[in-house]
Structure 1
Amino acid sequence: MGGLPQQSWWDRFQELLDDQNEWPAEYLFKFIAPSSEREALRAVFGHYPVTIRESRKGNYISLTARMEVQSSDEIIAIYKAAARVRGVIAL
């Protein structure tokens, strides 16, 4: 994600989430990060199960997590926490 977007971006994103979902809802998160950041990205999801796959050369990982969330606030909190992981890209 290359750092945190401005607050106006998060506000628009939250509006879209609230318009398109009824809470609670299941939400799919997907991220790519350098392999060296595997544990940092995994830690964003706490006890929730995630699927991690390595790239062909092993330089990157992809992480997928499907979670039931209670509100758009939870989704945004996950994205903001993941944005602190060096080199992470949200898909």
Structure 2
Amino acid sequence: MDKKTEEFYIRLKEELDNSNAWPAEYLYKFIVPSDSHKIAQVEAAFNQMGAVIKTTQSKNGNFTSISVNVTMNSSQQVIDKYLEVSTIEGIISL
């Protein structure tokens, strides 16, 4: 992980800990190319977690936004999940 990315996650962890009492609901937002395999990979990352997942295809159909509302146990668990899905080609975390 590069220095800039590492600093981002350190700041995110501090902000999450300052604004949440854990466990807490967290809303992830991602954009992926409209490829059923990539969408399935994101959904699989949250499988068995009781997540509410909503997908919306872009107007031209090239991209799909994915919102995942899920209860997480800690700020580190939130970050670990971001790192897990970051390996999906073309994913953008918002």
Tell me whether the two structures share a fold, i.e. TM-score over 0.5.
Answer: yes
Could you say which residue in structure 1 is the equivalent of 2:72? 69
Could you say which residue in structure 1 is the equivalent of 2:85? 82
Aligned residue type for 2:25 = E
Per-residue deviation, 1:17: 0.8
Task: Give the alignment's TM-score, normalised by structure 2.
Answer: 0.82
RMSD: 1.8
* TM superposition outliers: structure 1 runs of 4+ over 4 Å: none
Task: Give the alignment's TM-score, normalised by structure 1.
Answer: 0.84
Per-residue deviation, 1:8: 2.6
Structure 2: give runs of 5+ residues left out of the alignment. Answer: none
Could you say which residue in structure 1 is the equivalent of 2:47? 46
Could you say which residue in structure 1 is the equivalent of 2:21? 22
Aligned residue type for 2:52 = P
Per-residue deviation, 1:29: 0.8
Structure number with the bigger relative contact order (C-alpha 8 A, sep ≥ 6) is 1
What is the number of equivalent residue pairs in this alignment?
89
Could you say which residue in structure 2 is the equivalent of 1:8? 7
Per-residue deviation, 1:76: 0.4
